[in-house]
Structure 1
Amino acid sequence: MATPAPAPLAPLAERAGAPSVLPPLTAGGLTWRPATRDDAGALLDLRNTVAEADREPYRETLDELLEILDAPWRRLVTDSVVGLDADGLLRAYGYVETMPGDTSRVRAFLWGAVHPDRRGEGIGRELFAWQEARARQMLAASGASVPGRIGGFLEDTAPAPKVRLYERAGFTPRRFYSDLERDLRDLDAHPVPDVALDGLRLVPLADDLDEPARLAHNDAFRDHWGSEPQTPEQWRSGRSTYAPEWSFVVVDPAPDVAALLADPRTDGETAAALRAGEPLVVGYHVAARFTADFAVRGHPFGYTEILGVRRAYRGRKVAVALLAAGMRAFAADGMAVAALDVDTQNPSGAHGLYASLGYTERHGSRLVTIEL
């Protein structure tokens, strides 16, 4: 007997519980207004002060923060606030982010913090309430009838009051992530594997392969929990830390176009690229150089920011070849370790792959959500 189709969802406008008016921000005597690009320097100081106080394993640079503020889909005037004290010093901030590529689920993520010297005054509670209310408004305004999600990320070192804010608002842990490292200081004793790719070619991620790599990413992550397609503007954003000298792709120089076009797993954008004779990237390793984090970690490291393999090409050691190329590039550039972040329940078995290559956990974080 066939399983009945699920009932259609009501529009998010009906399910989001969006308030008509955002809650007031009055605690601590701060003056509130939307963030602007001119706040970047003060906002950077606040974010890094919070990161140090909360023992977060990273620090930001001005270029990274400007990329956040300048993202073309960002609406600072409606979706952000900063709180300033009587001396004009920035003491708190918050913003809510939705992504333009979301299709099967519309997501709104909360980001914000209060200066350590101003905690305990109720500022965080009011700011969090403002963010959640704004998130509900943004989901309702999406016009979508798909599932919705309000989410926030908590480091394992997050202070207890911040964790309680999410718990009291009904957020529950949904996913757990591990920050992994692999030592590169003695590759003779701990060698990186050599991988034969059987007809595929591993090459640097050149500019002309960037869009094919985006298409490969959207295919690779289609079956990953919580992932949504990336638009070209999303894919090209956040490049201030991009390390092209550490980034690689695997290309199929002679794909079976007819078979791929007949495969129901082949998405429309990839099908169009195949018909146009564009290169077919089947796996990619996009790396980043976070120099501001070297002192925090205690050593220089190369970071695998995104790694993926098209579903039709899994089982051919493409990911191992890409990771090995990345690790060799890191080591050749004097990096002490290779680092990356992984969903502990990754459906492709990535966690086991990394463990087999010598990666071990250094830090953890989790995603907490309200599902709508």
Structure 2
Amino acid sequence: MSGISSTLLPIGYRSRSATVADAHAIHRLVTACEYELHCRAVTGSDRIVADLSLPGLEPKFDTVLVRDSEGEPAGWGWVKGRRSTVHVHPDHRGRGLGSSLLAWAEARAQQLGNDRLAQTVSDGDHAAVALLRSSGYSQLVTEWLLEIAMSVEPEVPEPPEGVTVRAFRPGDEQAAYQVTEDAFDEWQQRRKTYAEWARHTVERATFDPAASPVAIAGGQMVGAVLSLGVPGNDEGYVERVAVRRDHRNRGIARMLLHTAFRTFYRQGKQTCTLWTHSDTGALSLYERIGMTVQRSSTVYSKTFTTR
């Protein structure tokens, strides 16, 4: 299977393409990185499966898994379009694996005909930030992880006149896709296909319809909050928040979020988190409803020189 040439890897490492069968091993690698940075795991194994099964991703060419001499995962990465992700296990840092994986990602992106590549890196990962900066990457946007603590049951505001709220149910998929992607079109560089969107939302094993309220007006979906919940975890997670443009500034997003928070509280969750970033302009909304920034990440981008 494809991978990084052995001549480009540090001595003692070998690589091949990754498959869905590797999801568990990759998840262990990713969570080790997260414990090192954040003292807790934040990525579910279903997210790894979703990444490896993205429509249009060719695992044989677009993924790489690096193992050490004992066969344990030491690093991995994937490239799709202009986006990539690279992780190096904490026990294997400082040996050049990050540089090798970054070089592989850039080469693959250029093979695909892309003129640039972007990666998201935690602002606390100083080694990764230094590597990207020294390799010609510049800051694109800032992302924030926000959290709300729920020591008492959250109160839910009354819906605006003409708007009703209910939990997500089968058959809502296309409407939710339309509402969220229309809203995200205002800042994202590329509209996702339905199949790609669904892999990271409604088709994930942890998708929680009960904690995913939608707003209906005039018989149409005008807002949605799509949430994930991991059994045995005391934290809920909001994956998407969107309100149709012609229904904004009516308190719908606030109402939907508090509805999701209340559902998570009744499920025994103590906190709820979500990510937002600087292009959405939504940070102040989340702070007004009582959420606080826990940490930040930065999306770095590099433009390739044409010859």
Is the TM value for this pair above 0.5?
Answer: yes
1:364 aligned residue: 296
**In structure 1, C-alpha distance between the alignment counterparts of 2:127 and 2:248, rounded to whole Å:** 43
Q: Percent identity?
A: 26
- The counterpart of 1:237, out of the listed 185, 188, 199, is 199
Per-residue Cα deviation, 1:177-215 (whole angstroms, up to 9, x for no partner): 11111222124xxx5351332112212111112111111
Contact residue 246 and residue 330 of structure 1 kept, 8 A: yes
**In structure 2, C-alpha distance between the alignment counterparts of 1:366 and 1:130, rounded to whole Å:** 21
1:111 aligned residue: 85
- The counterpart of 1:96, out of the listed 63, 72, 79, is 79
- The counterpart of 1:124, out of the listed 95, 98, 104, is 98
Secondary structure of residue in 2 paired with 1:166: helix
Name the structure where strand makes up a greater proportion of residues. Answer: 2
Contact residue 110 and residue 151 of structure 1 kept, 8 A: yes
Compared CA separation, residues 345 and 90, structure 1 to 2 (3 A): closer
Contact residue 242 and residue 288 of structure 1 kept, 8 A: yes
- The question of 1:315 aligning with 2:249 is answered yes
**In structure 1, C-alpha distance between the alignment counterparts of 2:118 and 2:96, rounded to whole Å:** 21
Within 5 Å, give how 1:1-372 maps onto structure 2.
25-55=8-38, 57-98=40-81, 108-140=82-114, 148-158=115-125, 160-187=126-153, 192-224=155-187, 226-238=188-200, 239-253=204-218, 280-291=220-231, 294=233, 300-347=234-281, 350-371=282-303
Q: CA RMSD in A?
A: 2.3
Compared CA separation, residues 290 and 370, structure 1 to 2 (3 A): farther
Matched to 1:364, the amino acid is S
Per-residue Cα deviation, 1:267-288 (whole angstroms, up to 9, x for no partner): xxxxxxxxxxxxx211101011
Per-residue Cα deviation, 1:127-181 (whole angstroms, up to 9, x for no partner): 21111121122234xxxxxxx54111111221x2211110011111111111111
Matched to 2:16, the amino acid is R
Secondary structure of residue in 1 paired with 2:8: coil
Contact residue 23 and residue 133 of structure 1 kept, 8 A: no
Q: Which one has the largest radius of gyration?
A: 1
Q: Which stretches of structure 1, 4 residues or more, deviate above 4 A after TM superposition?
A: 21-24
Aligned length: 298
TM-score (norm 2): 0.88
Contact residue 35 and residue 76 of structure 1 kept, 8 A: yes
Contact residue 75 and residue 88 of structure 2 kept, 8 A: yes
Matched to 1:118, the amino acid is H
**In structure 2, C-alpha distance between the alignment counterparts of 1:322 and 1:83, rounded to whole Å:** 42
TM-score (norm 1): 0.74
Contact residue 22 and residue 130 of structure 1 kept, 8 A: no
**In structure 2, C-alpha distance between the alignment counterparts of 1:309 and 1:205, rounded to whole Å:** 15
**In structure 1, C-alpha distance between the alignment counterparts of 2:18 and 2:192, rounded to whole Å:** 25
Compared CA separation, residues 369 and 57, structure 1 to 2 (3 A): farther
What stretches of structure 1 of length at least 5 have no aligned partner?
Answer: 1-20, 99-107, 141-147, 255-279, 295-299
Compared CA separation, residues 59 and 199, structure 1 to 2 (3 A): closer
The Cα of 1:368 is off from its aligned counterpart by: 0.9
Matched to 1:211, the amino acid is Q
Matched to 1:235, the amino acid is W
Secondary structure of residue in 2 paired with 1:40: helix
Per-residue Cα deviation, 1:68-108 (whole angstroms, up to 9, x for no partner): 2223322111111222233322222222123xxxxxxxxx2
